[in-house]
Structure 1
Amino acid sequence: MIMLGLARADIELRIFFRQWDAVIFTFSLPVILLVMLGSIFTGVYEGSPVTASQYFVPGMLAGGVASTTFVNLGAGIAADRDDGTLRRLRGAPVPPSAYFVGKVLMALVVTAIEIVLVLAVGVVLFDLSLPSSPQRWFTAAWVLVLGTAACGLLGIAASGLARSARSAGAVFNLPYLVLAFCSGVFFTPISALPAPILQAGALFPLRWMAQGFRAAFLPDSILSQEVVHSWELGKVALILAAWTVGAMLLALRTFSWHNHRDR
């Protein structure tokens, strides 16, 4: 199964990188947003050397992960269902898990490239300092793993909401943009958001993934700008893990190999 999954991942990556418009949009979106927002919001926070531009970088990392996994993965599966790819694969003499392994590995590769690009922009343009301790890199790693798993499984679970490939973009981009705003991805600092918006964002994994990345890439002196003046890493891990399990159970219950016309 592993070899079949790797073979499927190779196919998925080839398909992705042949679509140059999708490649350019996927990799440029978080970078362009970071450059624009980082150029508009300037200045240094009181009591911390962190600038508003640097504060945006971890949030854009989280937003990029969610875009690549939840939006792209979910929309890609919806398109495969609409054009009959899933139905043909279901009838092929290969385990269904190979398809999901291939999709997940493709999403991980694209996510890794996107993270490198966003961090490069943060370091070169906004003088972001990368973590100097293994502990902070470990924090970034487990936040990435749990966040990718939660958002990816949510994308798989929500793929059935799109009735066609044409509607998939709207189905996934609307909730993504709303949650990105509620999670402080497009706003600095997050504590300045109105309480109802903060409470809505706290219900979903993107808010906690962004907070985990801030804990990894920003110094503790910026904690005064957080909602409760703490990174709450235990809570971040618990919520992301709970969303991962919940999204997996939801995906197992709602996923279908057939489109709406075939049911």
Structure 2
Amino acid sequence: MTAPETRLPGPIRVGLSRGLLEVREFVREWESVVFTFALPSLVLLLFGVIFEGAFDAGMPAVDFYLPGLIAMGLMSVSFQTLGTGIAVERDRGGLRRLRGTPMPPTAYFVGKTVLVLVLALAQLVLLLGVAVLVHGAAMPRDAAAWATLAWVFLLGTVASALLGTAVSSLARSARTASGIVVVPFLVLQFISGIFVPVSLLPDWVLAAASLFPLKWMAQGMRAAFYPDGFSAIEPSGAWDLHLVALALGTWCVVGLLLTLTTFRWKTRKDG
């Protein structure tokens, strides 16, 4: 009588387990936790103190900057975290060792998805908490605005995560990963309406920013948080949520294709 065949767990189950492991490992490194979550909240606190009373935008400074900083925070925990983290894992041989195990490759990406969604949700809750508890900031006005916040959050986070995964393959080593990821992200923050109002940006700068997801994430978040009349500050005079959805959806597809075609389990020196 033969022994019953042992069935290995599927990629989703393995991926969820790996996602929990990724979250635990991330939390253990308190420096990464502070660096990842502190900057958007710190900027929000500083802007609320510095510009309050000297800000002429028809709303408090915190309300004005909150949507953009949420978009920046979401891209930070997805694009920047995966772009640098995966490059480090590859350089240290972690990806090569994982590829040699029975773990399905899909499970690795499911685990990263779990990590990013947990970090993104934590970032959103932290920023909203700081904005409301410290400054009494206004929240989305109705159910439709909360729904806009939800789908922009999801599409923007997925698009940024896929783009970060693809960009990680550009780094030749862990040492070069930060420059390849952080510098473009920093530039995008200044040309996408995060720190500088879109009404003050030259047309060619906005056109360049429109090629990347951060500009559309910030625009969608403004639609969720700002009163309807403030759509006049947008270049087109409207929130253009259909274009926001189209741009972020397109980046999800483009990011997936780039990931599938460029992702490497080994460094170039490993062959």
User: What TM-score do the two structures reach when normalised by structure 2?
Assistant: 0.92
Output one character per residue of 1:33-83: Cα deviation in whole Å (capped at 9) or x when no partner: 22223333345556x4x2233111000000001111001111111111011
Q: Within 5 Å, give how 1:20-99 maps onto structure 2.
A: 20-42=30-52, 43=54, 45=56, 48=58, 50-99=59-108
Output one character per residue of 1:73-131: Cα deviation in whole Å (capped at 9) or x when no partner: 11111111011110011010010011111111111101111111111122233332112
What's 1:178 paired with?
187
What's 1:193 paired with?
201
Q: In structure 2, what residue type is equivalent to 1:203?
A: L
Give, in whole Å, the separation in 1 of the partners of 2:255 and 2:24: 28
Q: In structure 1, what residue type is equivalent to 2:192?
A: S
Structure 2 residue 113 is the aligned partner of structure 1 residue 104 = yes
How many residue pairs match? The answer is 260
Structure 2 residue 227 is the aligned partner of structure 1 residue 219 = yes
Q: In structure 1, what residue type is equivalent to 2:90?
A: R
1:195 deviation in Å?
A: 2.1
Output one character per residue of 1:103-161: Cα deviation in whole Å (capped at 9) or x when no partner: 11111101111111111122233332112321111111110111011100000111111
Kindly indicate whether the alpha-carbon contact (under 8 Å) linking 2:47 and 2:61 is maintained by their aligned counterparts in 1: no
Rg larger for: 2
Kindly indicate whether the alpha-carbon contact (under 8 Å) linking 1:223 and 1:230 is maintained by their aligned counterparts in 2: yes
Percent identity for Structure 1 against Structure 2: 47
Give, in whole Å, the separation in 1 of the partners of 2:16 and 2:84: 21
In the alignment, structure 2 segments of 5+ residues that lack a partner are: 1-10
What's 2:242 paired with?
234
Cα RMSD (Å): 1.4
Alignment match of 1:129 (pick from 112, 129, 138): 138
1:197 deviation in Å?
A: 1.5
In the alignment, structure 1 segments of 5+ residues that lack a partner are: none
What's 1:244 paired with?
252
Kindly indicate whether the alpha-carbon contact (under 8 Å) linking 1:37 and 1:186 is maintained by their aligned counterparts in 2: no
1:257 deviation in Å?
A: 0.5
Q: In structure 2, what residue type is equivalent to 1:77?
A: I
What's 1:12 paired with?
22
